Structure 1
Amino acid sequence: MSINTVFLIKMIINIGLTLGLFWTISQRTRFKKWQLSQDKLVFSLGFVALRLIPWIAIFLVIHEEPRGDIPFFFYKAEAAKLGGFVYRDFWSYHAPLFAYIISIPVWIWHNSRAIVLFMVLMEGAILWLTYTTYKRRSEYALQYAIIYLLLPAAFMYILVDGQEEVWFWGAGLLLWRITLYHKTNIEVKLGLLYAATLLTIKVTFIFLLPAVLILVARPMRMLLVMAAIGLPAVGFLYWQVGDLFLMPIQHTEQLMTPNLFSITRPIIELFVHINEKNTPLINWFGLLFTTFIPAIFAYKGRKRPISEILPAVFTSSFICMMIFQASAMGAYLMAYLMVLLFEIIDIRKTLHIVVLVALNWLTVVQPFVWVTQGQPAYTSFGMFANPTYLFEYTLQVLNVACLIWALYKTYQHIDPKPALT
């Protein structure tokens, strides 16, 4: 099946999902009732209908080959299954344990489709744990869970492309649950979990750390616990592979879209030429804002219990990563889409729904247009004489605008101002 045909089918599915999304939003009373009496049944039916049945249809009935990062994931999983050592025997842009984790389904079924199913099941587990956590806080949590399953970006990036970014929120959720249900030595527990996450998913999870350290009462204790696990792990990796364990950091040097740099590059190029093969200064600027802004948010909300604001601080961290990191791409939306819906978005407000739907559609459409046009880098305004370039650039601008709005709403959630009378 050609890439254009696949994209057309995606658009048809997105229309159906969006219509289902609007219906679900209109049924607040019904979902409130279901949450009280039959939430497990409704959640299960939603997951089966919107994840398992589509997976069967796509990969077993139509027999479509997995796309996106799945071929690379399968390469790593195969190598890990054969006993290869990460970074030395096979390439990986993830944390050292990631390849061995995704090799688990390959032991059961030696096929790349098994990895997609594994990602779907992981997403389902994270969504269920999110729902059960918010169930005590909101009588509409079940409705949010079904809305999430209907979001086009979640459907496409998890079910079709098998992306793993939702694991970030899985780790963030576990951090949050520690603050909710443990009152003593939370720095030790947070440090243990944070170190384990850095060894499991991606090094970019470190962007959240400065904000977390501002929120905890004894940040040095948390750092020491992390060091007790991290330093021996780094030492072992260096002993085995030398500096090859820095491979995940190299992945951040690749310029992607959409982000603040990609949409302002035509202006930047008026003053200084950007060498795409050597972008450390751009990465450092991105890193500064990605860590500094969530840290400011955390400082603003430090008088509130960490259990109240950690989900919003988490959201701000990964929104900032998408806005300011020149290597950020649309798939990172999956890192915080779930918590954005449960924590920040108010589905009773039209503007919130419009931005949520727009962000999902833009995240699905823009990467396809960008790739099919040869992944252009807009180094001059003259390039916009090409209508397709102008269209794709407009999609990027709209995408970043939605992200900035979401960041603003997240800040309001952390530091609400008294209403004017």
Structure 2
Amino acid sequence: MPVLTVFYTKLLINLLLTFGIIWTISKSGLFAKWQKENEKLVLGLAFVLLRLIPWIGIFLIVNEDPRGDIPFFFYKAEAAKRGGFVYRDFWSYHAPLYAYIISLPVWIWHNSRAIVLFMVLMESFILWLTYSTYKTRITNALQLAVIYYMLPAGFMYILVDGQEEVWFWGAALIIWRFTLKKPVNYEVGIGLLYALALLTIKVTFIFLLPALLVVVKKPVKMLLVMAAVGLPAVGFLYWQIGDLFLMPIQHTEQLMTPNLFSITRPFVELFFTVNEKKSTLINWIGLLFTVFVPAFMAYKARHKHINEVLPGIFIACFVCMMIFQASAMGAYLIAYLMAVLFEIIDVRKTFHVIILLAVNWLTVVQPFVWVYIKQPAYTSLGMFSNLSYLFEYCLQILNVLCFFWILRETYRKVVSEKLTTA
């Protein structure tokens, strides 16, 4: 199917999903009733209608080939299935266990479509776990779960492209649930869980660690537990493959959009030229802000229990990554989209809903437009005489403004809200 046809189809689907979201928001009373009486039936129907049937339609009936990172994922899964050693026998920009995990569905069905279905099932498991956690805390949890299934970003990037970033929230959610069940002496447990997450997903999950260490009661104890798991794993990898296990870090060098650097670059270039092949310094500056802002928020909220602030500092961490990291791209929104919906968004407020819909539409539209116009780097203001460039640049600005709004609301949630019962 031609690229433009795919894009126009995505826009039509986005429009239908948006109408569905608006209808769902208008039926708050009905969903509150269903949450008490028919939660499993409603969640099951939502999964079938908004994930399983579309997957069947796209990949079995229309017979589309998976796009995005799925071909690369399938290459890794095949290599892992053959018994290859990660980083040595095949390329991977993920944690060492990731390739072996996504190879599991390939053992059942040797097809890249199996990985997409696996990502959909993982996303739905994380959503179910999120709903189970929030349903005792808020009365509209079921409504939010159904809304999530209709959010364009999740629909497109997970169902169509098979992205895995929602696993970040899954890992943080498991850690959070542990602190809810064990509000004291939790350091050993979350140290183990965090170390396992770092071995499973991506190295970027480490961004959450500084803020987490600020809010735990015994940070040294947690670090020692992590070291007890991580150091033997790193030692084993070094023994087998030398420094090849540092391969995931190399993935952070490429400059992407949209982020604060990409929208300020035309002005930065007025003073000095940015060498895209040597952008390490830019990413290091972005990393400082990515780590410092959530850690500062955690420090301001240090009088609160970790189980009150963990979802908020998680959101802050990854929205800061998208704002400040020059290598961040729009698809990373799905890392914290579910958490934002349940933790920050109030669907009774029109402006909240507008931001939610805007950031989802922008996340679908902006990357396509940027790629379609040949991924321009805006190195001078004169480039905006090209209306296509100006349009895409405006999309980037709107995207980043939405990120800042999410960060501001998260700050209010973490720092300004009154204490609740731990």
Coarse TM-score class (shorter-chain normalised)? over 0.9
Counterpart mapping for 1:53-202 below 5 A: 53-202=53-202
2:278 aligned counterpart, secondary structure: coil
Deviation at 1:280, TM superposition (A): 1.4
Task: Measure the CA separation in 2 of the matches of 1:322 and 1:393.
Answer: 16
Structure 1 position 286 matched with structure 2 position 286: yes
Match of 1:359 in 2: 359
Deviation at 1:389, TM superposition (A): 0.4
Which residue identity is paired with 1:128? Answer: W
Deviation at 1:345, TM superposition (A): 0.7
Structure 1 position 342 matched with structure 2 position 347: no
Summarize deviations over 1:83-141 as a string: whole Å, max 9, x none. Answer: 10000000000000000000000000000000000000000000000000001101110
Which residue identity is paired with 1:323? Answer: I
Task: Measure the CA separation in 2 of the matches of 1:242 and 1:382.
Answer: 47
Summarize deviations over 1:45-90 as a string: whole Å, max 9, x none. Answer: 0011000000000000000000000000000000000010000000
Deviation at 1:233, TM superposition (A): 0.7
Which residue identity is paired with 1:256? Answer: M
Summarize deviations over 1:8-65 as a string: whole Å, max 9, x none. Answer: 1000000000000000011100000000001000000001100000000000000000
Task: Measure the CA separation in 2 of the matches of 1:200 and 1:261.
Answer: 29
Task: Measure the CA separation in 2 of the matches of 1:166 and 1:377.
Answer: 28
Task: Measure the CA separation in 2 of the matches of 1:284 and 1:182.
Answer: 36
Counterpart mapping for 1:318-337 below 5 A: 318-337=318-337
Task: Measure the CA separation in 1 of the matches of 2:161 and 2:176.
Answer: 28
Identity rate, percent: 70
Which residue identity is paired with 1:150? Answer: M
Query: Is there any run of 5+ residues in structure 1 with no aligned partner, and where?
Result: none
Task: Measure the CA separation in 1 of the matches of 2:288 and 2:415.
Answer: 22
Task: Measure the CA separation in 1 of the matches of 2:417 and 2:242.
Answer: 51
The answer to whether the 8 A contact 2:183-2:307 is kept is: no
Match of 1:48 in 2: 48
Summarize deviations over 1:278-317 as a string: whole Å, max 9, x none. Answer: 1111011011000000001111111111111110110000
Match of 1:416 in 2: 416
1:254 aligned counterpart, secondary structure: coil
1:175 aligned counterpart, secondary structure: helix
Alignment length (residue pairs): 418
Task: Measure the CA separation in 1 of the matches of 2:120 and 2:262.
Answer: 31
C-alpha root-mean-square deviation of aligned residues, in Å?
A: 0.8
Task: Measure the CA separation in 2 of the matches of 1:36 and 1:408.
Answer: 33
Match of 1:298 in 2: 298
Which residue identity is paired with 2:231? Answer: L
Query: Is there any run of 5+ residues in structure 2 with no aligned partner, and where?
Result: none
Deviation at 1:184, TM superposition (A): 3.5
1:199 aligned counterpart, secondary structure: helix
Task: Measure the CA separation in 2 of the matches of 1:375 and 1:226.
Answer: 40
The TM-score, its normalising length taken from structure 1, stands at 0.98
Task: Measure the CA separation in 2 of the matches of 1:170 and 1:305.
Answer: 20
Which residue identity is paired with 1:273? Answer: T
Match of 2:232 in 1: 232
Task: Measure the CA separation in 1 of the matches of 2:296 and 2:376.
Answer: 34
Match of 1:274 in 2: 274
Deviation at 1:239, TM superposition (A): 1.1
Match of 2:3 in 1: 3
Deviation at 1:183, TM superposition (A): 2.9
Task: Measure the CA separation in 2 of the matches of 1:370 and 1:59.
Answer: 26
Match of 1:222 in 2: 222
Task: Measure the CA separation in 1 of the matches of 2:70 and 2:417.
Answer: 45
The answer to whether the 8 A contact 2:207-2:291 is kept is: yes
Task: Measure the CA separation in 2 of the matches of 1:396 and 1:213.
Answer: 33
Deviation at 1:417, TM superposition (A): 6.4
Match of 2:241 in 1: 241
Task: Measure the CA separation in 2 of the matches of 1:270 and 1:240.
Answer: 47
Summarize deviations over 1:131-166 as a string: whole Å, max 9, x none. Answer: 000011011100000000010001000100000000
Which residue identity is paired with 1:201? Answer: I
Summarize deviations over 1:236-262 as a string: whole Å, max 9, x none. Answer: 111111111111000000111000000
Question: CA distance change for structure 1 residues 417 and 116 in 2, over 3 Å: closer, same or farther?
Answer: closer
Task: Measure the CA separation in 2 of the matches of 1:66 and 1:128.
Answer: 25
2:59 aligned counterpart, secondary structure: helix
Task: Measure the CA separation in 2 of the matches of 1:417 and 1:202.
Answer: 31
Which residue identity is paired with 1:21? Answer: I
